[in-house]
Amino acid sequence: MTIQMTAQIFTIGELAQEFDTTTRAIRFYEDQGLISPLREGQKRIYSTADRITIKLIMRGKRLGFSLAESKELIDLYNTEGDNRTQHVRVLEQVKASRERLLQQKTDIEIMLLELEEHENRVKADMK
């Protein structure tokens, strides 16, 4: 009794729908070297790995990352664990990314506080 594990695949249209974007955009990401789907004849075949990459791209976009920046992150995760200098570079990149995210986090906290303040002013004004 064997368990059949078929690798999940996706069409470009499915992914466009799932991530609320367009096929044009997804092909563009391929142009820019962010994904490299396989082909079945002419047609692009996306793996779950491709799908995750697109998810990462979209998350990046919501945070204001350029595609180039997202690509750096993607490449970061795809570094084959080889030599030490590579590793060092990766760790530095991780540090930089983390710092950026933490800065954004405090920016968000401040903006949330300011929004709340303003909301209260307006609500008080309504009475």
**Interaction site with its own copies (CB under 8 A):** 59, 61-65, 76-77, 79, 81, 84, 87, 90-91, 94, 97-98, 101-105, 107-108, 110-112, 114-115, 118-119, 121-123, 125-126
Q: State the CB neighbour count (10 A cutoff) for residue 30.
A: 15
Residue 18 makes CB contacts below 8 A (sequence gap 6+) with: 51
Tell me the number of residues near DNA by CB under 7 A: 21
> Which residue lies nearer to DNA by CB, 7 or 124?
7
Shortest distance in whole angstroms from residue 12 CB to its own copies: 24
Q: Give the integer Cα–Cα distance in Å for 90 and 81.
A: 10
Q: Give the integer Cα–Cα distance in Å for 65 and 75.
A: 15
> Which residue lies nearer to DNA by CB, 41 or 81?
41
Measuring CA to CA, which residue among 77, 17, 82, 20 is closest to residue 49?
77
Contacts with DNA by CB under 7 A lie at 11-14, 16, 21-25, 27-28, 32, 41-44, 61, 66-68
